[in-house]
């Protein structure tokens, strides 16, 4: 067989955008490293523009975990800070998960040092008297084990603490590292559980309401795999190991399901995300044309935080754990 070097070279994949040699093979196109990085950055800037996430007067508190998503988010916020001019600090919640959180915390500290961003850490142990591991051991009743799964306790405590600490740090925005896959998963989970009210509340940005620090999700247009790749190309410190509790979570199962469908039908994840964004727009427009009832959340009688009942969910769980 005759080999023609020039022909072989021609057959090498070329970047879809600039026609240089492609180094990155995505499921929908091949890109060179430079165009790939530009594409990720453009999507993050587009999310900011589409949802007016960042303002010069903001003090942005970036919730970081030591993982790839929040590493990329903090890196990009730092770049955008130079152009827009807002204040930026990072916040890490230490749940107290042995063999996991300490490694992630170390990476988060390295990242903040590298990017010269001030980091505040707050723990479940300090705020709720028990680390997550301790709380899980204290669930003796079978009913509590079913009702209070690791991710349920973790999610409620983390949300509560993030808002409280962001407010204490005088944050005007709380940025979280949810990527496109996370958002599609949450949308699907809400549908599967018929949680329509949650679906309404789950938003790319959450408006300021009473004591809630508005949340923003700058990575909402970027798929998980591309974030991991970007973090590696930028040499950002991040921890790859997964939380030992993630396997028992409903989200983990939805993630596996979505990945298996995506493997057969390319573009499914993107379509779910688009459906969510379209539906969200319709809900928003409808809300704007309807007279809004005044939003007045109750204050938890135990901790003083916003609550939909006289005792907030975090205090209910805290009490349950202490009486188990």
Asked whether position 246 contacts ligand SF4 by CB under 6 A, the answer is: yes
Shortest Cβ 306–Zn ion spacing (Å): 9
Buried b / exposed e along 77-96 (16+ C-beta atoms within 10 A): bbebbeeeebbbbbbbbbbb
* 37 within 8 A of 79, measured Cβ to Cβ: no
Tell me the site size for ligand SF4, rule CB under 6 A. Answer: 9
Shortest Cβ 239–ligand SF4 spacing (Å): 12
Binding site partner of 150, from Zn ion, ligand SF4, none, Cβ cut-off 5-8 A by kind: ligand SF4
Asked whether position 243 contacts ligand SF4 by CB under 6 A, the answer is: yes
Binding site partner of 154, from ligand SF4, Zn ion, none, Cβ cut-off 5-8 A by kind: ligand SF4
Cα angle 162, 62, 55 (rounded to 5 degrees) comes to 115
* Dist CA 321 CA 144 (whole Å): 9
Among 245, 272, 276, 300, contact with ligand SF4 (rule: CB under 6 A)? 245
Nearest alpha carbon to residue 317 among 114, 91, 157, 105 = 157
150 vs 175, beta carbon nearer ligand SF4: 150
Q: How many CB atoms neighbour CB 249 within 10 A?
A: 17
Asked whether position 300 contacts ligand SF4 by CB under 6 A, the answer is: no
* Dist CA 288 CA 323 (whole Å): 44
Asked whether position 92 contacts ligand SF4 by CB under 6 A, the answer is: no
Shortest Cβ 157–ligand SF4 spacing (Å): 9
Asked whether position 249 contacts ligand SF4 by CB under 6 A, the answer is: yes
Q: Which stretch binds ligand SF4 (CB under 6 A): 28-36, 70-78, 242-250, 281-289?
A: 242-250
Shortest Cβ 255–ligand SF4 spacing (Å): 11
Nearest alpha carbon to residue 135 among 146, 121, 123, 124 = 124
Binding site partner of 78, from ligand SF4, Zn ion, none, Cβ cut-off 5-8 A by kind: none
Q: Which stretch binds ligand SF4 (CB under 6 A): 239-247, 261-269, 271-279, 298-306?
A: 239-247
Angle, helices 224-233/180-192, rounded to nearest 10 degrees? 160
Nearest alpha carbon to residue 209 among 239, 253, 174, 260 = 174
Place of tokens 């599609």: 184
Contacts of 306-313 with C-beta under 8 Å, sequence gap 24+, read 306/163, 306/210, 306/211, 306/212, 312/160, 313/156, 313/160
33 vs 249, beta carbon nearer ligand SF4: 249
Shortest Cβ 198–Zn ion spacing (Å): 20
Shortest Cβ 154–ligand SF4 spacing (Å): 3
* Dist CA 114 CA 237 (whole Å): 9
150 vs 312, beta carbon nearer Zn ion: 312
Asked whether position 186 contacts ligand SF4 by CB under 6 A, the answer is: no
Q: Annotate each residue in 132-171 with x if it binds ligand SF4 (CB under 6 A) or - if it does not, as one string.
A: ------------------xx--xx----------------
* Dist CA 301 CA 315 (whole Å): 9
* 103 within 8 A of 66, measured Cβ to Cβ: yes
* 64 within 8 A of 178, measured Cβ to Cβ: no
88 vs 228, beta carbon nearer ligand SF4: 228
Shortest Cβ 102–ligand SF4 spacing (Å): 13
Binding site for ligand SF4 (CB under 6 A): 95, 150-151, 154-155, 243, 245-246, 249
């Amino acid at each position: 067989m005759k080999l023609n070097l020039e022909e072989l070279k021609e057959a090498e994949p070329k970047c879809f955008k600039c026609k240089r040699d492609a180094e990155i093979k995505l499921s929908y196109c091949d890109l060179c490293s430079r165009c790939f990085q530009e594409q990720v950055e453009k999507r993050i800037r587009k999310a900011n523009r589409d949802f007016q996430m960042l303002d010069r007067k903001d003090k942005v508190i970036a919730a970081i975990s030591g993982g790839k998503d929040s590493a990329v988010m903090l890196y990009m916020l730092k770049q955008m800070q130079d152009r827009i001019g807002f204040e930026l600090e990072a916040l890490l919640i230490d749940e107290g998960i042995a063999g996991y959180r300490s490694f992630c915390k170390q990476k988060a500290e390295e990242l903040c040092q590298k990017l010269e961003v001030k980091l505040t850490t707050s723990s479940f142990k300090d705020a709720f008297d028990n680390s997550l591991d301790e709380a899980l051991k204290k669930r003796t009743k079978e009913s509590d084990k079913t009702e209070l799964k690791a991710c349920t306790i973790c999610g409620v405590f983390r949300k509560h603490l993030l808002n409280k600490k962001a407010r204490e740090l005088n944050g005007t925005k709380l940025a979280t590292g949810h990527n496109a896959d996370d958002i599609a998963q949450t949308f699907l989970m809400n549908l599967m559980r018929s949680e329509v009210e949650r679906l309404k509340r789950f938003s790319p940005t959450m408006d300021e309401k009473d004591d809630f620090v508005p949340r923003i999700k700058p990575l909402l247009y970027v798929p998980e795999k591309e974030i991991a790749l970007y973090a590696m190309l930028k040499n950002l410190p991040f921890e790859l190991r997964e939380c030992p509790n993630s396997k028992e979570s409903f989200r983990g199962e939805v993630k596996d399901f979505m990945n298996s469908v995506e493997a057969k039908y390319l573009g499914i994840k993107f379509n779910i995300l688009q459906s969510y964004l379209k539906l969200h727009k319709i809900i928003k427009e409808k809300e704007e044309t309807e007279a809004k009832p005044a939003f007045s959340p109750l204050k938890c009688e135990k901790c003083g935080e916003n609550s939909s009942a006289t005792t907030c969910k975090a205090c209910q769980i805290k009490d349950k754990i202490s009486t188990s």
